[in-house]
Structure 1
Amino acid sequence: MKIFRLIVFIAHLGILFLLLATLLNAYIPPKIFPWFNLLSLGFPVLIITYCILTLFWVFSWKKRAFVFMFAGLIFLSPIKRWVNYSTDKRGNPNIKVVSLNTKSGGLGRDKIQSFLQSQNADVILLQEEGKGYDIEGYQKVNPFGGFTVLTRHKIISQKVLRPQDEDLRIPGVQIDIEIKGRVYRFIDVYLHPFRFEKEMVKLNGNSDANEQKVKDVIKKLIPTFKKHQEQIGFLREAVENSPYPVILGGDFNSVPNSYEYYHLSEGLEDAFLSTGKGSATSFHDYKFPIRIDYIFSSKSVRPVSYVVDRSVSLSDHYPVVAEFSVEPK
């Protein structure tokens, strides 16, 4: 039994260090060391295993249980980026934003059109959507293929966040919109996709084939992380140079606790972390909890609610809907 407990203890320490390594994504970019970003993908599995092993020490009446419980408090905020149970926020919402990766309407454009119409949102941010939707009462902006913004309000300006490197995908577009006498900068984000097929990540009984699949997946992940790092620079510039409050949302193709999350959320508020309840999983094509869709806002734009709408299946992403409260002008 002592040998077994020693093995469990070593494994528990190893998982603790791996979890701590995910926190380094706030400081170490993928171009320097991409493996920390890779670890962020496995955060749900790591933290669940960590909690199970902590319970093992609790039921074993070992003092080390308190050490692991105390160390686990470090990960409360990272956990809440995946699963959250916030209290109801006070305030009357006066800006409603919907974000959805439509997958080019492949699962039914009529269904998407009907859903978007029913939301009565102030601003709709769409990704992987070149054609857009003609909704009564909304202006449609397609500043660049793959991005569509719909709004019921006055558009002040629009800009494509275009990298100088032609090989680097455009990460987003910015639209300055006047709502009830105030101007806000909305940034529609779509970071470079990984282009995975289900078969690529589905393991089977063949160990050699599985090993090759893992290697192929990593070969796709690492270069994409590095492209994300470059794309984030253009998005941060749009945020930091904005003379207006910012609402930034879309498909980040990145999980919480990743380099992308830490740096895109810098100085902004995660609407789910502030007001969300339950799971933030937004990508449902794989049987694994994946949150890659977000809505962030400036501190002056206070989140009141955040919902991942699982009542509809419009693409491989669920729509995310956030409401904000701002002081009247």
Structure 2
Amino acid sequence: MKKLSWFNKLMLFFNIVLTVLTFIAYILPFLAPKIFPILSVFTLVLPLMLVFNFLFFMYWLIQMKRQMLLSGIVLLLGITFINKFYKFSADPQPEAPEDFTVMSYNVRMFNIYDWLPRADVPDSIRSFVKAKKPDIICFQEYAFLDRVMFKSYPHKFIYSNDDKYKTGQAIYSKYPIVDNGQIKFPNSSNNAIYADVKMGNDTLRIYSMHMQSIKISPDIHESINEQKSKVIFKRLSEAFAKQQYQAELLENHKAQCPYPAIVCGDLNNSAFSYVYRIIKGDMNDAFEEAGSGFGKSYNYKYYPARIDYILTDERLEVKEFATFDSIVNSDHFPVMARLALRPVEE
């Protein structure tokens, strides 16, 4: 057996370091951010770790070296994480009369502060919603604007803060809303709202959540330096600790719900995080069930971040899921799922 060259020894060293870091990232979704707030930041780069593990696997495979087992085993153990990161396209199921659609969209206050150099953003969002015709819409970072009216939705619940533009969240529905409310997040301007929607003889609980923001702009890469990276790292760890408490509040509230639930919204965290795992619980991730590609929902230039979700009760079937990542009206992209309530087995 030939000895490794000095270059391969160096590559093996980096491979081992990557393997250790990847295993730590695998464990982090089961560790509360309050206990390890700094370590929890590593969940954001887990997809990148998986990519590098694949490259190492191919590097050793080409040389027919047994070291390929190192990253090969890592990838096999992380197969469920890979499914959260990328989905191969699947044909959507045929439409049926009982199907309904749900959209989640962080509209960034309809661009009232001119983050985008366009005056037509509110009208563009309204036209997009009109074209897609979702039966239920969950808006995050909603603002009251006379220009943005969704007149085709006879039922709505809007919760607003006491600021200039009454920003908050909104749920619009073509089905009657029989109850609604909010879940307050202490020491935060973020919150979750809910609406109980009557659909024929059934009632569904719709949650719209907007978890603690990490306050990092999509163009942060253009001006990052060592000092800013320390600030960002600290800001992320603090936000994740807050998100843990908010996720627990939402989960406790959902546990008392007598109806099948759908959780929509901006989690401000990845699908590899403790926060995601707590909120998802036994629910299905619509992207994992029927999505395709990376499911990028945040407009970050160099990374396919998926932080907006539609999570559904097991009694609901996910027939189709789409991310509209060509619709640039916000720093988020809208996501939509076509669902159907499974018949109750007797």
How many Å apart are 1:86 and its aligned residue? 5.1
* Aligned-partner residue type, residue 140 of structure 2: Q
Whether 2:171 is the aligned partner of 1:149: answer yes
Whether 2:182 is the aligned partner of 1:160: answer yes
Contact 2:19 2:70 in 1 (8 A): no
How many Å apart are 1:99 and its aligned residue? 0.6
How many Å apart are 1:170 and its aligned residue? 3.9
How many Å apart are 1:175 and its aligned residue? 0.8
Pairing 1:237-316 to 2, within 5 Å after superposition: 237-316=252-331
Whether 2:50 is the aligned partner of 1:28: answer no
How many Å apart are 1:15 and its aligned residue? 1.1
How many Å apart are 1:286 and its aligned residue? 3.3
How many Å apart are 1:199 and its aligned residue? 5.9
Pairing 1:1-329 to 2, within 5 Å after superposition: 2-85=5-88, 87-88=90-91, 90=93, 92=95, 94-106=99-111, 107=116, 108-131=121-144, 133-138=148-153, 139-145=155-161, 146-163=168-185, 165=186, 167-197=187-217, 200-202=220-222, 210-327=225-342
Query: CA 1:188/1:228 → structure 2, altered by over 3 Å: closer, same or farther?
Result: same
Q: Which moved more, 1:111-120 or 1:128-137?
A: 128-137
1:198 and 1:292 map into 2 onto residues whose CA distance is: 13
How big is the alpha-carbon RMSD for the aligned residues of Structure 1 and Structure 2?
Answer: 1.9
Contact 1:22 1:258 in 2 (8 A): no
State the aligned residue count: 322
1:99 and 1:89 map into 2 onto residues whose CA distance is: 19
How many Å apart are 1:16 and its aligned residue? 1.6
- Tell me the secondary structure at the aligned position of residue 224 of structure 1: helix
Contact 1:174 1:187 in 2 (8 A): yes
Contact 1:125 1:249 in 2 (8 A): yes
How many Å apart are 1:255 and its aligned residue? 1.1
* Aligned-partner residue type, residue 316 of structure 2: V
CA deviations 1:128-180 (Å, max 9, x no partner) are 003274222312321334101110011010011014x3x13443101110123
Structure 1 portions without partners, runs of 5+: 205-209
Identity of aligned residues (%): 23
1:203 and 1:58 map into 2 onto residues whose CA distance is: 39
Question: TM-score, normalised on structure 1?
Answer: 0.92
Contact 1:24 1:36 in 2 (8 A): no
How many Å apart are 1:200 and its aligned residue? 4.2
Question: TM-score, normalised on structure 2?
Answer: 0.87
1:323 and 1:262 map into 2 onto residues whose CA distance is: 23
Stretches of 4+ aligned residues off by more than 6 angstroms: none
